[in-house]
Amino acid sequence: MKKIAFIIFSILILTGCDDFLSFDPLLDKTSTTYPKTEAEVKQLIAGIYSTMSDEIREGDMSFFLVNETASDQKLGGGGVNDLKTQAYEAFAYSDADMLGHNWETTYEGIHRANYTLEKLAELEEGILTEELYNQYSGEAYFLRAYFYSRLATIYGEVPLKLTTEEVNLPAAKIDEIYAQIGADLMTAIDKLPSKPYSDIEQGRATKWAAEALLGRVWLFYTGFYTKTDMPNANGGAISKADVIDALEDLVTNSGHKLVDDFHELWAYTNSLTAPDYQYIQDYMADTGKSVLYASDNGARNPEAIFAQQFSNFAQHGTSKGYSNAIMLFFALRGLQDLENTFPFAGGWGQANSVPKHIVDEWEADEPGDIRLWASVIDIHEELVKDRELNDDGEPKAYQTGQWDFVLESNFWGKKHNGVSVKAQDGSYKHTYGVLMYGTPNDAQLSHTDELIYIRYADVLLMLAELKEEASYINEVRARVGLADIPTYTLEALQKERKHELAFEAIRWNDMRRWGEEYCTAALEKQVGNPVINFNKPAVYDKGNPIPKGGYTARYKETKGFYPIPQSQINLSEGLLQQVAGYRDGQGFYSGFGD
């Protein structure tokens, strides 16, 4: 196991394939000779981004899946051996190194960012123009801040390593961590070019991404830790006014905007699948609209401010990059016949069951909100009802209750679910990318949809919260045909974020920053929901991974954080301490049972 203090990494080279993150190992470079050209600097930057794809590769240890499972909008189920996902649901740990891959790949990204910043400072004059130097260093600062913001929300206090020096470090104080995140983001904002997003190479972080992340980090820090400002390691503090200025700059100058129709954000509206997807065909007939996936055929999505790109040429056991494993881990359970699950694909079925109360509350809060069924699959209505019958008189439909599946709901997240396609010969492919991009027709490799971490609607809602103005909320509501709210209230803002940003790994930290009472009340509503366990109707209360004493007690013990991998604590030689709530065997989850 590698020490967090010094992580060795391979430098990666851009191969010249279709997208920014296509890599092969570059084995003939050393730290004394690299980089010496503009192309090599670009390769160095690409190597930082590549750690994000590596982190997603182990989907059940990814930041995205952890945040989805922890929230009130998903149930951590899967099969009885999917202990990690069920442990996240219970704020527990299934093994001592449950999040080892997440920790190592995130710190590897930080190490690569540190290495890049050191090498850029030593770069010979004339290799880069001033503009490119600022762009590349700005990206490195942004990515380091992004990685630390993830670590700080999953684990709390962690080592703050800002150089490549081989040294062991204790955990930094939380204010010190956020001060560095703030400083890095302010530096990135200053260095990155003020160009419309469309003039910047796809897949790269931008000034606008740094401004948006500043808003998200500031709101979490000040909310969760009940502060008025966020510290800045470069001096002073970052105020609410500073954040508002940054987000208003994004709105005015970035070129980002809302896509015309909410459905167009999600891959199931792609041009190859949508003609055969009855839900979309009915929607277009009812509204008179024509919808098309905003990223169709490689197009730039104007709403995506920061999104992770994936290789279209992923292969098993090679360095050709990685596919979007979130689509696989969230896909319908069991790799059933694609014609039975169309337009959705099959996979591991973890952390994508939506509790029934979420649907019920959404319908009560906002009747007629198109975002509900644009975001949620009703298994019975979409994948069972009115399906063609097979020779035995049974519908050619998705089969619930497969094998040892637990905590299965009738409702599934639709936003991040593998999207299949029907070919002209009548056969089905694991994803539309097989026909659109030539991806391998492999359930584990074919999902290459971009994974959006920050989008423009989120920025508008952050501005609404910071300025306490309803106009930004109403702009988001207008897109989905909902009436304006007359005045701003925090409750209205909370509901809007809950609906607009559902299932995008944002809800969990929203819940936490709005206070313990808000968070625990939302978590407790999961108890009592109908589920299917081992192909039998059940209720989510007994025999399930509900924390001992209930969600409220467990949240008070952990504050919603998860354990640092024990191997890293051992390697720290006494410098690192385990997260509260996970010490001396507390919070161990042994598996599903009575």
pLDDT at site 17: 32
Q: Using CA atoms of 76, 79, 85, 90 in order, give the dihedral in degrees to the nearest 10.
A: 60
* pLDDT tens, position by position, 266-318: 999 999 999 999 999 999 999 999 999 999 999 999 999 999 988 787 666 55
pLDDT at site 349: 87
pLDDT at site 205: 97
Mean pLDDT computed over 470-492: 98
Whether the per-residue pLDDT at 28 is higher than 60: the answer is no
When pLDDT is cut at 50, 70 and 90, the band that residue 16 belongs to is very low
Mean pLDDT computed over 132-142: 97
Print burial letters for 94-106: b (CB count within 10 Å at least 16), e (below 16): beebbbbbbbbbb
Secondary structure (3-state) at 237: strand
pLDDT at site 401: 79
pLDDT at site 321: 61
Residues 563, 121: Cα–Cα separation, whole Å: 36
Which uninterrupted H or E stretch holds 23?
Answer: strand 23-25
Among candidates 305, 332, 333, which has minimal Cα distance to 458? 305
pLDDT at site 544: 80
pLDDT at site 549: 81
pLDDT at site 339: 92
Q: Does domain 12-253 have CATH number 3.30.43.10?
A: no
Per residue, what are the HEC states of 371-400? HHHHHEEEHHHHHCCCCCECCCCCECCCCC
Domain boundaries, given as residue ranges, for the chain: 12-253
pLDDT at site 316: 64
Q: Any residues with CB less than 8 A from the CB of 516 and at least 6 apart, and which?
A: 555, 556
pLDDT at site 335: 82
Mean pLDDT computed over 232-259: 98
pLDDT at site 466: 98
pTM: 0.93
The pair of structure tokens assigned to 293 is 């996936």
Whether the per-residue pLDDT at 19 is higher than 50: the answer is no
When pLDDT is cut at 50, 70 and 90, the band that residue 29 belongs to is low
Which uninterrupted H or E stretch holds 538?
Answer: strand 536-539
* pLDDT tens, position by position, 350-381: 888 999 999 999 999 999 999 999 999 999 99
What mean pLDDT is reported for the chain?
A: 91
Angle at 505 between CA 548 and CA 382, to 5 degrees: 95
Whether the per-residue pLDDT at 104 is higher than 50: the answer is yes
Mean pLDDT computed over 41-58: 93
Contact 441/430 with Cβ under 8 angstroms? yes
Mean pLDDT computed over 552-574: 96
Sign of torsion over alpha carbons 500, 503, 505, 507: positive
Residue whose entry in the numeric block shows the structure tokens 């625990």 = 520
pLDDT at site 32: 66
Region of poorest pLDDT, from 108-117, 142-151, 153-162, 389-398: 389-398
The pair of structure tokens assigned to 66 is 């952890």
* Dihedrals phi, psi of 385, to nearest 5 degrees: -60, 135
For the chain, the residue count is 594
Contact 589/90 with Cβ under 8 angstroms? yes
Whether the per-residue pLDDT at 459 is higher than 70: the answer is yes
Mean pLDDT computed over 460-467: 98
Which uninterrupted H or E stretch holds 540?
Answer: none
Among candidates 211, 180, 187, 164, which has minimal Cα distance to 5? 164
Beta bridge pairs of residue 419: 344
Region of poorest pLDDT, from 144-153, 504-513, 537-546: 537-546
